[in-house]
Amino acid sequence: MRKKIIAGNWKMNLTFAEAMALADNLLDENKNIDDVEVVLASPFIFLHPLINRIQSNPNFSIAAQNCSDKIKGAFTGEIAASMLASIGVEHVILGHSERRQLYGETNSMIAAKVDRALENGVFPIFCCGELLAERNNNIHFNVVKKQLEESLFHLTSNQIDECIIAYEPVWAIGTGVTASFEQAQEMHEFIRSTISSKYSKSIAEEISILYGGSVTPANASELFDGDDIDGALVGGASLKEKDFSDIIKAMLTKI
Ligand code: PGA
């Protein structure tokens, strides 16, 4: 069975005290959640203390929200994948639409980041998704296919197997508008079949594909009914302990 994953993307939110309190409450509330992996994607400076905290719960892991496309050197303000690996960070979100739109990340830059992460044993959570105008013009499948081709399809079978994919329609991120169950499942199925054509059916069947974009306790359960929807990448609702725990519970009921 594919791994079921609920990831919280805290983005640039929370103070140190707030972040630790949120993590402690989540760890406390979600003790027996075998078969669901909970990933907390925190700002860089909270990663190390968070890693110490989650040792008590094998179902929790930590993600960075970005890493450099360079190996090391004179790149002021950047964080290398090797640094993440050196403190035990397991995952890194790459290609988030906020990075693409606000910081000019291109598919080829994201491909280099994916390489740096995998070279260091950090598993990418690769985000893809179309803009509203692209969906309205009916080119959403092409857009997502191109993102996969240009940032992931240079990988070997063993490497792509180490990636998690998150489908995040840009129009659904932070807007309160969620993709319908049909829209999400249809795109997840498309992503899986695109991976299957490039690699193999067995590889495609192993890769967890998460949905992201205004996931809340109110819509999570329906989304998780999708055969190809293996979890969620949650932004806003991941900052609220009860909402995030309820999303984890919604997944637990499907297993
Ligand atoms: P949202 O963010 O849940 O607040 O829409 C999702 C994301 O950006 O990963």
* CATH code, domain with 53: 3.20.20.70
Distance (Å) of CA 13 to CA 71, 121, 128, 246: 27, 27, 22, 20
Answer whether 126's CB lies under 8 Å from 94's CB: yes
Out of 39, 132, 173, 238, give the residue to mutate to test ligand 1, the one with the largest number of ligand atoms within 8 Å of its CB. 173
User: Tens of pLDDT along the chain (255 residues)?
Assistant: 799 999 999 999 999 999 999 999 999 999 989 899 999 999 999 999 999 999 989 999 999 999 999 999 999 999 999 999 999 999 999 999 999 999 999 999 999 999 999 999 999 999 999 999 999 999 999 999 999 999 999 999 999 999 999 999 999 999 999 999 999 999 999 999 999 999 999 999 999 999 999 999 999 999 999 999 999 999 999 999 999 999 999 999 998
CB of 8 closer than 6 angstroms to any ligand 1 atom: no
Q: What's the alpha-carbon Rg for the chain, to the nearest Å?
A: 17
Q: Which residue has the tokens 């067995």?
A: 202
Alpha carbon of 23 to ligand 1 centroid (Å): 18
Q: What is the pLDDT of residue 32?
A: 86
Q: What is the pLDDT of residue 226?
A: 96
N-term to C-term CA, the chain = 10
The domain of 201 spans: 4-252
CB of 213 closer than 6 angstroms to any ligand 1 atom: yes
Atom 1, ligand 1: residue with shortest CA distance: 235
**Nearest to 126, CA basis, from 143, 144, 114:** 114
Alpha carbon of 200 to ligand 1 centroid (Å): 30
Atom 9, ligand 1: residue with shortest CA distance: 235
Alpha carbon of 49 to ligand 1 centroid (Å): 24
- Residue 168 known to be catalytic: yes
Alpha carbon of 212 to ligand 1 centroid (Å): 6
Four-residue CA torsion sign, 238, 239, 243, 249: positive
Out of 5, 6, 9, give the residue to mutate to test ligand 1, the one with the largest number of ligand atoms within 8 Å of its CB. 9
Alpha carbon of 236 to ligand 1 centroid (Å): 6
| Catalytically annotated residue among 90, 91, 96, 188 | 96
Q: For residue 91, give every residue at least 6 positions away whose Cβ sits within 8 Å of its Cβ, in sequence order, or none.
A: 7, 39, 41, 61, 62, 63, 64, 122, 123, 124, 125, 164
Task: State the total domains in the chain.
Answer: 1
CB of 243 closer than 6 angstroms to any ligand 1 atom: no
- Residue 63, helix vs strand vs coil: strand
